[in-house]
A and B are shown apart, each in its own frame.
Chain A
Amino acid sequence: MIQHEKLENVVIRFAGDSGDGMQLTGGQFTRTAALHGNDLATLPDFPAEIRAPAGTTYGVSAFQLHFSSNDVYTPGDVPDVLVAMNPAALITNLIHLKRGGTIIINDDAFDKKHLELAGYASNPLNDDSLSGYNVVRLPLTTGTLKAVEGLGLSNKEAGRCKNFYTLGLVYWMYNRPMEPTLQWIEEKFSNRAELAEANAKALKAGFNLGETVELFNARYDVAPAKLPPGTYRNITGNQATALGMVAASQRTGLKGFLGTYPITPASDILHFVSRYKNFGFLTFQAEDEISAICSALGAAYGGTLAFTTTSGPGVALKAEGIGLGVMTELPVVICNIQRAGPSTGMPTKTEQSDLFQALYGRNGEAPVPVVAPQTPGDCFWMIMEAARLATKYMVPVFFLSDGYLGNGAEPWQIPAVSDLPDMKVTFHTDPDHFHPYSRNEVEARPWAVPGTPGLEHRIGGLEKHHGSGGVSYDPGNHEMMTKIRASKIAGIANDIPELEVHGDQEGDLLVLGWGSTYGAIHVAVDRMRARGYSVSQAHLRYLNPMPKNTAEVLKQFKRIAIPELNMGQLSRLIRSEYLVETVNWNKVQGMPYTAGELEELIEKLLSGEERMNPVDEASMADAR
């Protein structure tokens, strides 16, 4: 008799070849968990190669999912269950697994060829290298082939159903309904009835396998989470960004335009937005990154709410265009879904190393506002905020998401449209005393669009005369205009929420972060607080300008630690802006911080084991 055990938290990691469909498997489990009402977070972890040679370690694609009956802030530090479809998936993912965790192995793939491809000298299933784990060996390939036998599929097609077979098994383990996935299969393969049938059969056969093999001692239940009341959907950061763009277009009353060039991990935003044409939202796949920003500026010039999406290397190419946006004071939102750099770097891996690029990556004095979402769902709110600032202050605005937020998913409480901020934009139309570079109360210039009678004027990249907007080489005017462009941005501090502190408002340590590290910091701080440490969290969603009370918040704590997925960019900014000492915690591995890593860092710091990390000491020595 199989027991039913109740669990609060489960972390599963599906790992296989790029062609094994692990992202799909993970995505389906995520949907089902979300529909069940669990809180969750996901971490897709895949290679840049679309189809690396089968069986190799560099072709391994993984998907990690954390679901819970409690609040979830991260995709989980260490998985409880690892599904390894082949030896390469095992060897590359075993380090992630919890000691004593369960490994579900596709026994069929552990042949000599695959073991060699993965770099195993001997079969780990036959020695004691997996002795600390609960290893469940199953013939997942042959099981699948048997399940879909007689449906007229080629061997290759039949083999490809094994991800659903595996998913069925995991559904059984966690007592999940198959209906959402069965429905999905039916829709997805509506043109290939035989594939629909095969995948459905594979899923059910996998589920039944759990019942019959008697390899598992228990099935697990993870109850729905107690989320605030409301209607929810599952959402990735890139999806939320796309929806936020459409919402911003609706709330500003402006037509939307996205000028962009495909780049990992930002392309999905284009894929989503290009479907929303009935919102009058145009997408333009430009010939390159430069054309993308320039087309967006051209659209903005014409009175459209314009966006461009890219990742770090693309921002490098857009720099001159963004500078023109600063000079001509046109509203445009630049979305950087950051990835590991420099150069091409690691396109599918996450990093936060483009903060300085956003702040300073242009010629001349060219300040722009910078905002950063902190969760996948927050992308919706912050892209709207970026659009609000751009149109209100007539300025290009940076939106810094990253690969982890962009591809990661969480349940998202759907807001009522009536609760969205009203960002109505009105163009300037009055020809009386019109000056293209006159200023309103927030130092923004008027948005006067072509087609408006009596406002014909010229703009461009040459320095503008204050007020008239004519070309000016006057030394005093240039200095004044430089200061106006800066003070306009600085003034935004009066128009954004104050920095909030999670935990005590004063104490021994403040962990200050920005962007996608929010979840891991939140969990680590809560755990340490539960253990009695005096530690609080503050998270910056506005990097330029920073909230007005930032200095005040920093003063309330004896020490400030700044964990970042870069070499200390926010930390340097905080030091230079506020003249305070900070402790740098830096991770540049293309992977997000886990809560456990941060918990350890906090503990070491507060128990005096570690003052600063070695990198920081070196850089401090350089500074001296």
Chain B
Amino acid sequence: MNSIEQNGLNVIADKPEYTAKDFSSDADVRWCPGCGDYSILAQVQRTLPRLDRKKEEYAFISGIGCSSRFPYYMNCYGFHTIHGRAPAFVTGLKVTRPDLSVWMVTGDGDGLSIGGNHMMHILRRNINCNILLFNNRIYGLTKGQYSPTSEVGKKTKSTPFGSIDTPVNPVRFALGCGASYVARTIDREPKHQQEIYEDAYNHQGTSFIEIYQNCNIFNDGAFSQLTERDVKDDNVLPLKHGEPMIFGKESDKGIRLNGLRLEVVSLSDTSVEELLKHDESSQELAHTLALMIDRPGMPTPIGVIYREERSTYDDLANGQVETAIERFGEGDLEKLLHEGETWVVA
């Protein structure tokens, strides 16, 4: 039995000390060798031992797709459900079992194509859970069709002449749905991932995390500009709350607000004071940051884009139950059956 304090969290007294291995199930991992999913799995397994929960309190819920095999590899409770519907299972589970730590694993197809509707509603309701959306911008499990996040003109098996539809921007989508927590991370950034997962866990509400994930079979190198050592620093903007937005291999570039638009400036002729400071609590800023991936020449922000403290659906729903019990007393079935008018036949 341990009583330890770690990362500022009071860890519950009888929580065993776990290692990543404790969260690894005995199922053989069947993702393709080299898949970005391996890193995500490893970082989640490394994060959970640091959290204030016992193993049996975690439930991982997924939909369908490569990413959705995730629960099989976690040695805790897991439910591999049906395509696109994981948010509904999460909602039913979390509302009735608020004591659990519920994690949802989904992908760009599962979460934003077939399951886009449910994603919208879990975000606006603010169910207290963590959503890991693996975005590889391709359909992997069905072997290489374009996805709703694929760039326009994408040539795939189903679009030999190039895809023609405008992609969805997951962060914009989440913000538009009223998400209370939106972050982005990258499969090749293990430390960053772990920080985000822990932070997301501590957020009360739906924590939406877009994870850029490389599919080395059907869409290899989709994020190479953000992951390859020689170029990534010039293309990634790490966000830190309250700090000026600086990036670049030499930390020589920054983001400035010019009117209503963002612009990249060189620190050689612009002072740090003129740069935009990140404010996780600003919805206006979050929407602006969300647009950056669609603006040529702009770096891709990673980190927590938006954070808002507001009541969760599960708390409010169970609060109504408590209030009803306070007002009317614990339900009495005999009384309920006799509600309204009754008469006696002798």
Contacts and interface: CB of A to CB of B under 8 A. Distances in A.
Contact of A414 (B58, B74, B85, B337): B337
Nearest to A303: B97
Contacts of B88: 259, 286, 290-292, 294-295, 298
Contacts of A461: 64, 80-82
A35 interface: yes
A132 interface: no
Nearest to B100: A450
A284 B56 contact: no
Contact of B336 (A279, A291, A321): A279
B341 A31 contact: yes
Given A257-B96, A291-B91, A232 B77 contact: no
Interface centre among B57, B82, B329 (most CB of A within 10 A): B82
Given A320-B82, A461-B80, A278 B325 contact: yes
Interface string B54-71: 111111010010000001
A456 B75 contact: yes
B327 A299 contact: no
A321 B117 CA distance: 16
Nearest to A183: B341
Given A287-B117, A296-B92, A301 B79 contact: yes
Interface stretch (B197-205, B219-227, B245-253, B316-324): B316-324
A288 interface: yes
Nearest to A283: B317
Given A35-B343, A304-B96, A456-B77, A280 B321 contact: yes
Q: From DSSP, what is the main secondary structure of chain A's interface residues?
A: mixed
Contact of B96 (A228, A286, A299): A299
A243 B72 contact: no
A247 B332 CA distance: 10
Contacts of A458: 25, 27, 71-72, 74, 77-80
A91 B81 CA distance: 53
A185 to B, nearest CB: 15
A460 B80 contact: yes
B344 A231 contact: yes
Interface centre among B325, B336, B346 (most CB of A within 10 A): B336
B71 A321 contact: no
A229 B343 CA distance: 10
A229 B81 contact: no
Given A298-B91, A298-B92, A278 B80 contact: no
A34 B343 contact: yes
B44 to A, nearest CB: 15
Given A295-B89, A301-B89, A456-B77, A230 B344 contact: yes
Nearest to A36: B343
Given A290-B85, A291-B91, A299-B92, A451 B57 contact: yes
Contacts of A296: 92
Interface in A426-446: none
A451 B341 contact: no
Contacts of A460: 71-72, 78-81
Nearest to A227: B345
A324 interface: yes
Contacts of A301: 59, 79, 89, 92-93
B93 A232 contact: no
A257 B81 CA distance: 19
A306 B87 CA distance: 17
Contact of B81 (A233, A294, A450): A294
Contact of B317 (A34, A282, A287, A324): A282
A532 interface: no
B121 interface: yes
A217 to B, nearest CB: 31
Nearest to B86: A294
Contacts, number: 214
Contact of A231 (B93, B96, B343): B343
A243 B88 CA distance: 25
Contacts of A383: none
Contacts of B118: 287, 290-291, 294
B117 to A, nearest CB: 6
A364 interface: no
Contacts of A34: 341, 343
A186 B344 CA distance: 24
B296 interface: no
Interface string A270-282: 0000001111111
Interface in B328-346: 328-331, 333-334, 336-346
A246 B336 contact: yes
A452 interface: yes
A542 B132 CA distance: 44
Contact of A287 (B100, B121, B340, B344): B121
Contacts of A449: 97
Contacts of B320: 277
A450 B92 contact: no
B221 to A, nearest CB: 31
B95 interface: yes
Contact of B345 (A230, A276, A290, A306): A230
A232 B343 contact: yes
B92 A294 contact: yes
B76 interface: yes
A454 B58 CA distance: 12
A278 B27 contact: no
Contacts of B59: 301-302, 450
B341 A228 contact: no
Nearest to A420: B333
A286 B61 CA distance: 18
B257 to A, nearest CB: 36
A415 interface: yes
Given A227-B345, A278-B328, A450 B89 contact: no
Minimum-distance CB pairs A-B, first 8: A460-B80, A298-B92, A279-B331, A295-B92, A294-B88, A298-B89, A277-B324, A458-B78
21 contacts: A37-B345, A180-B341, A232-B345, A233-B338, A276-B331, A277-B324, A278-B327, A279-B333, A292-B88, A300-B92, A302-B96, A303-B97, A304-B97, A328-B79, A450-B58, A451-B57, A452-B56, A456-B55, A456-B75, A458-B27, A458-B74
Interface of A: 31, 34-35, 37, 180, 224, 227-234, 243, 246-247, 250, 255, 257, 259, 276-282, 284, 286-288, 290-292, 294-304, 306, 320-321, 324, 328, 414-417, 449-462, 470-471
Given A279-B331, A456-B75, A457-B77, 7 more contacts: A31-B341, A35-B341, A278-B329, A298-B61, A453-B55, A458-B25, A471-B72
